Chain A
C-alpha cells in the first residue's frame, strides 16, 4: 500500500483576484489593529497603574498627615488644658478656704498660680505651634507636622480623582483587551480563509473575520466614549 501525504493530497486552494485583495486588506488591517490595540491596552494599563499608585500615595498622605499633625495638636490642647487647670486649682483653693489666715494664704497661692497659668498657656501655644519655613526640619516632616484640617479637602479630592482615573483607564484597558481577543479570532479566520480559498467556506470565513474585526474596532472605540 502506498503512503499518501494528506496535505499534498488536498487540492490547492484557489484564490480569485477579488478574494485575494480582500484577504490581503483584511490581513493588513488585522495586523495594524492588533498593534494599535496593543498600544491602547498598554497605554491604558500604564495610566491605570499610575493612577492607582497616585491613589495609594494620596491615601497614605492623608493618613500620614493626620497621624503626624495629630500629636502636635493633641499636645497643644492637653498642655493648654493643663495650664488652665493650674489657674483653676488656685481659684478653687480660694473658694474652699475658710476665712482668716488660710483664706489669705489661698489668695496668695492663687495669684502665683494664675500668673504661672498665663505663662504656661503661652508656652504651650508656642511649643505646639506650626513649624515655620525657617524651622530646621526636613520638608517632609515640616509639611506633615504643620498640616491643618482645611488642607485635607484638596488632598481627598485629588485622591478620589486618581481613583476615578484608574477606573476610567481600567475600563479602557479591559475593552481593548477584549478587542485584541476579537482581532486574534479574526486573524485565525483569515488564515482559514486563505487555506480554504475562494469557496463558500472560505468566503464565510472571510466575512466572519471582517465582522470580528469591525466588532473589535467598535468595542475599542466604545472605551473612549463617555
Chain B
C-alpha cells in the first residue's frame, strides 16, 4: 500500500508543501524587496549628505565673494570716490577765491588728485569705468555679479534640488518597505493556513495573491519613481 501511494505523493504536492512554498515565497520576496529598499535608502542618505556638502560649498563662495567685494574692493573704490569728490569740491571753492586762499585750496585739491591716482593704480577694479555707478561711486552689485560669474560651477549648485532628489529616493525606499508589509500579510495567511487546516483552501491562494500584490506594488514603486 505504501509503495502504491508514494508515486502519487511525489507527483502532487501536499497541502503542507504548498504552505511551505507560500511561506518561502513570501520570505524570499520580503528579503529581495527589503534589500532593494536598503540600497535606495542608502542612496537617498548619500544624496542628502551631498545637499549639505553643496550648501557648504555654495555658501562659502557667497560669503567669500561678498567679503572680498564689500570688504576690500568697494572700500578702496569708496576711498577713490572720496578723493575725487574732495578734489572737485576744493577746486570749485578755489575758483571763487583769489590769492593765498585760492593757491592753498588748489594745493589741497591737487593732493586729493594725487591720492586718487595712487588708489587707481593700486586697484584695477576701483577705477574701472565698467563699475562706475551712474550717480557716482562704485557699482558693487555689478562687481559682485562679475566675480560670481567667474565660478559658474559654484553658482549652478542647487542644494534644494539635491535634497529633493534624496527625498525622492528615500521615499521610494520607504514605499518598498511598505510593500514588504503586504508580503508579510501573505506570510501571515500562510502561517494561519498551517494552524487552521479547514481554511487552508482559502488562505493559501489568498496568500499567493497577496504576495503577488506585494510584488506588483514593489515593481510599481520602482517604475513610477
Contacts and interface: CB of A to CB of B under 8 A. Distances in A.
Partners in one complex: yes
A135 B142 CA distance: 8
A86 B181 contact: no
A54 B177 CA distance: 24
A186 to B, nearest CB: 13
B184 A35 contact: yes
B93 A57 contact: no
Interface residues of B, number: 84
Contacts of B138: 127
Interface in A51-87: 53-54, 56-57, 60-61, 63-64, 67-72, 74-75, 78-79, 82-83, 86
A206 to B, nearest CB: 12
Contact of B86 (A49, A112, A123): A112
Given A49-B48, A108-B105, A127 B180 contact: no
B59 A42 contact: no
Given A86-B82, A116-B89, A138-B155, A126 B133 contact: yes
B144 A145 contact: yes
B85 A28 contact: no
Contacts of B34: 38
A155 to B, nearest CB: 13
B206 interface: no
Contact of A24 (B45, B81, B85, B191): B191
Nearest to B187: A31
Interface in B132-165: 133, 135-142, 144-145, 148, 155, 157, 159, 163
A22 interface: yes
Interface string B177-193: 11011011101111111
A207 interface: no
B97 interface: yes
A124 B86 contact: no
Contacts of A74: 70-71
Given A28-B188, A144-B66, A112 B155 contact: no
A218 interface: no
6 contacts: A32-B187, A34-B184, A46-B44, A104-B101, A123-B133, A127-B133
Interface of B: 26, 30, 34, 37, 41, 44-45, 48-49, 51-52, 55-56, 58-60, 62-63, 65-67, 69-71, 74-75, 77-78, 81-82, 85-86, 88-90, 92-94, 96-97, 100-101, 104-105, 108, 133, 135-142, 144-145, 148, 155, 157, 159, 163, 166-167, 170-171, 173-174, 177-178, 180-181, 183-185, 187-196
Given A28-B187, A46-B44, A72-B140, 8 more contacts: A49-B48, A53-B51, A75-B78, A101-B100, A108-B93, A140-B58, A140-B157, A145-B66
